[in-house]
Chain A
């Protein structure tokens, strides 16, 4: 067994609480309650352990991280630990005063999510009235303070036509970077495939628009693009390879190889409450399970791309093929590929109301009629 390299990035899900309830939220269906969240001191220790392990980039995420009242202290602790600190936020819960405090605490960068480019779209998708107006206000404060900004536009069948406007908004907000992310079907999004699956034509149009914008906006706006997975021929290199470059810590301290890893039933996860992060990364059974290529079956095992995409996403193999060690069904070499394309087309044809994510401790609401 080759020894794993240290991870570069850690995603800290500070809380699952969020004022929004996006139907594609990547949080698990079983949301952690506030009482079970790690304390300020626990997180500060985890940040130091992460830096000692070799993590360079810390993403403070959620839920909505601003829901944590100690966010400013957590940013301070992260910078003290020597980490590049990025805040992933919907903007809700941030005030100008809090943003100034985050600035004083040393926050390096902000990633602002965009649910739509009009109040009607954004507030419907986020399930939060007034959210869009608030977000624009927050973007203005971010610009005034001078934080480097990435706009993170999440796109699906209902709002893909807003991509050109999203690019304009990124420029208007002074963002240096935009992430154009087509919804990935994990977590709550799996419940919303009929409501959100883009058509193949929409996916192709988005790819064309991104290619054109990359040329036109070169040197002004960097565009990172996550294409529509189900309509692709090769899978994504998920998490840069399982247990190779990044890790997630859930609100209660559970350490995960990716945010959806808990959907793989046979894996056992450990907590930063019980074991140092370094030991979990190098020795934890869940990290070892799909690290490298040794676990692969055919066609991945003998494929020339096996170290390019590492067989795609384990959670997607689990969700779609019922086997976490199977080839990601997105791949043309998967026996399920044609079936997946047919299912994607059917989801894109279908329609259904949005199933919003619920709040921690509350059961999922059924779709509104």
Chain B
């Protein structure tokens, strides 16, 4: 995945706090994807303006984690969402 790519949640895909199960989920057509803390942290930075590289940088700083590790995790997760059309990537 290109580090310069800007991820966006398309219309019809949104983060939702599931108060009954006390967890975050990503709601999409016919799907509710349960998000762990890492997945939620990544998606919380997806705002349609920041690139994958910038998101990785923010998260690495916040969690004092190795950027390569964060970059790999974020890219794999976002790529999987993209394949299911739950995420748009530009350019």
Contact = CB atoms under 8 A, between A and B. Distances in A.
Contacts of A109: 12, 29
The secondary structure that dominates the B interface is: loop
28 contacts: A6-B20, A53-B20, A54-B21, A56-B27, A56-B32, A57-B27, A57-B32, A82-B16, A84-B14, A86-B29, A108-B14, A108-B27, A108-B29, A111-B29, A147-B11, A147-B12, A148-B13, A148-B29, A150-B30, A176-B10, A176-B29, A177-B29, A177-B30, A218-B83, A219-B82, A219-B83, A219-B85, A222-B85
A interface, size bucket: 20 to 34
A267 B10 CA distance: 43
A176 B20 contact: no
B10 A56 contact: no
Interface in A206-243: 218-222, 224
B15 to A, nearest CB: 11
Contacts of A84: 14, 16, 27, 32
A49 B72 CA distance: 41
Interface residues of B, number: 18
A56 B12 contact: no
Nearest to A55: B20
Contacts of A222: 84-85
Interface of B: 10-14, 16, 18, 20-21, 25, 27, 29-30, 32, 82-85
Given A56-B16, A176-B85, A224 B30 contact: yes
A148 B21 contact: no
B20 A86 contact: no
A309 B85 CA distance: 27
A298 interface: no
Given A56-B16, A177-B29, A222-B84, 14 more contacts: A54-B18, A56-B27, A84-B16, A84-B27, A86-B29, A108-B14, A109-B12, A109-B29, A146-B11, A148-B10, A148-B13, A177-B30, A219-B85, A220-B85
Interface in A31-82: 52-54, 56-57, 82
B16 A86 contact: no
A56 B29 contact: no
Nearest to A54: B20
A8 interface: yes
Nearest to A108: B12
